[in-house]
Structure 1
Amino acid sequence: METWVRFNSQSQAKERLCRAAQYACTLLGYTLQKGGAGADLLMTVKQLESHMSLTRKLMRLGNSAEAVESAKRAVHLSDSVLRLCITVAHLNKAMYFACDNVLWAGKTGLLPKLDQDKWSQRSFRYYLFALILSLTRDAYEIGLLMERESRCCGSAKASLSSTPVALTPENGDLPTTPSSSASPSPPPLLIPTIPSLPMLSLRLRKQVRLLAVVLRSNPPLLLDLLKNLCDIVIPLDRLGLYPTGNGFVGACGLASSVLSILTILHPWLKLKP
């Protein structure tokens, strides 16, 4: 299986290019339709999109094995949340690729009686579950990094404010000792207060600023988050859960494909593990 995984990894860049071309055709077809192009041109673009989709399915015949191997590696992660999210996401990807292989057999005529709509819906459901888990993993890692960055900022401020200052009675910095005849003041009543709107707005700005710092300092996490956000539009639209139209689907698919190609060209941009 390891030999097949190594062989299959060499074709990932070609599959990503075909994916980019497929969604570029989707976006082009939508644009031409809105522009009032002729029916022949629209049919040509649609056929080209269909050919690209079929070619991609052929290139992904061995991706289920690669996803299972990735799930096996993720089982040994020390962090329980990452272990759960990554393992189950890879298993859902394996099922998604398996359904995609069955669809390829149906489209090529090897399984002429195959219910393609049913298997397509099943495939997109597995794809959606995998993307939800991947986004959960991204949100978890962002939360950890934001908490770490907040602690670092807090400790830096504490070290700056810990400089000793000499207190003298002349400048009034030392508290005066109350006389013995004075009656002790009662302790103040603690009344719970509700944060005001400006306070909530300040906290929100601080969190947004902290999020920007974390994402700017972690390009692999930023790219993975953007890619998953673009990809999740596709199954939501195809399953009818949140229809957005072919134009938006084509744009999101093209953007996520370009981001995937970047991670292949520059492996350090790929989120690990």
Structure 2
Amino acid sequence: MDAWVRFAATSQGRERVFRAAQYTSALLAFSLQKGGASLELVNRLRQLEAHLSLGRKLFRLGSSAESLEAAKRAIHLSDLVLRFCVTVSHLNRAMYLGCDNLLWAGKVGLAPTLDQGKWSQRSFRYYLFALILNLSRDVYELSVLAEREARGRGKVAGVEKDGGIVSRMRARLRLLCYVLWANPPLLLDLLKNGCDIFIPLDRLGLLKTNPAVVSFCGLSSSILSILTISQPWLKLKP
């Protein structure tokens, strides 16, 4: 109960709940439309999705400043690769959230002349770059932990010295699975970023899927985010 109270007290936590509800509405609308449901019901769900999206943008006002502060802290990391990935990711997230704030102003009528299509595409590009850097950081941390575990087992680069290619690949795969299972924050972050990246790829037309895939990925990553916010020990650091 205490964890939920702390979670609900944060704007980030409430934004994640809105995000989960938004993608649930989108997934239901697509499923019901395919199932032959009434157009009125489908339109109501789509309107709900639009309202939830607008509400999320309100919760994110000012978040770009938090990302800039996070980038300032990350620039002092001792590991060069982590320093680059984390710092540049926060900078791209700050730009993405800045564009998102402008889109909110356009949608509520504060900036009626704003080209929402152009700024939306720009926002998704920054979002995509941030996710690519997040995934790069995840892969790097996984490789470092796998190397460390391999040395502890007396192996070279995580594979057996003897045996064929298939056996070495199986050994490597088992090692990676073990490392991920032993490091829940890294596993959750990798899954979350892996789900999220389909959203900007689809919106930018780089990988066309369908609304069901995008909605399912958005819902899955939202649930993972809710889990990491409510249980801080599951959040990947730094």
TM class by shorter-chain length?
A: over 0.9
Matches within 5 A, 1:174-213: 199-213=164-178
The residue that corresponds to 1:240 in the other structure is 205
The residue that corresponds to 1:123 in the other structure is 123
Q: 1:218 aligns with which of 167, 183, 191?
A: 183
User: 2:56 aligned with 1:56, yes or no?
Assistant: yes
Deviations 1:153-195 (A, max 9, x none): 007xxxxxxxxxxxxxxxxxxxxxxxxxxxxxxxxxxxxxxxx
Deviations 1:35-94 (A, max 9, x none): 011111111000000000000000000110110010000000000000000000000000
The residue that corresponds to 1:263 in the other structure is 228
Give the Cα separation in 2 of the matches to 1:33 and 1:72.
Answer: 46
> Rg bigger for which structure?
1
The residue that corresponds to 1:188 in the other structure is none
Paired letter, 1:30: F
The residue that corresponds to 2:84 in the other structure is 84
Paired letter, 1:59: F
SS for the counterpart of 2:197 is helix
The residue that corresponds to 1:251 in the other structure is 216
Give the Cα separation in 2 of the matches to 1:32 and 1:113.
Answer: 35
Aligned-residue offset at 1:10: 2.0
Identify unmatched segments of 5+ residues in structure 1.
1-8, 156-197
Aligned-residue offset at 1:126: 0.1
Matches within 5 A, 1:30-41: 30-41=30-41
What is the percent sequence identity of the aligned residues? 65
Paired letter, 1:63: S
SS for the counterpart of 1:154 is coil
Give the Cα separation in 1 of the matches to 2:125 and 2:234.
Answer: 28
What is the root-mean-square deviation in Å for CA atoms of aligned residues?
1.0
Give the Cα separation in 2 of the matches to 1:128 and 1:67.
Answer: 16
SS for the counterpart of 1:126 is helix
Moved over 6 A (4+): none
Paired letter, 2:124: F
Matches within 5 A, 1:129-144: 129-144=129-144
Aligned-residue offset at 1:199: 1.2
Deviations 1:121-172 (A, max 9, x none): 00000000000000000000000001001000007xxxxxxxxxxxxxxxxx
Calculate the TM-score normalised by the size of structure 1: 0.80
SS for the counterpart of 2:125 is helix
Give the Cα separation in 2 of the matches to 1:75 and 1:89.
Answer: 11
Give the Cα separation in 2 of the matches to 1:205 and 1:15.
Answer: 41
Give the Cα separation in 2 of the matches to 1:28 and 1:200.
Answer: 45
The residue that corresponds to 1:111 in the other structure is 111
Paired letter, 1:145: L
Calculate the TM-score normalised by the size of structure 2: 0.92
Give the Cα separation in 2 of the matches to 1:29 and 1:89.
Answer: 33
User: 2:18 aligned with 1:18, yes or no?
Assistant: yes
Give the Cα separation in 2 of the matches to 1:239 and 1:73.
Answer: 31
Give the Cα separation in 1 of the matches to 2:229 and 2:30.
Answer: 29
The residue that corresponds to 1:272 in the other structure is 237
Per residue, is there more helix in 1 or in 2? 2
Aligned residues: 223
Give the Cα separation in 2 of the matches to 1:206 and 1:63.
Answer: 43
Range that drifts further, 48-57 or 109-118: 109-118
Paired letter, 1:25: S
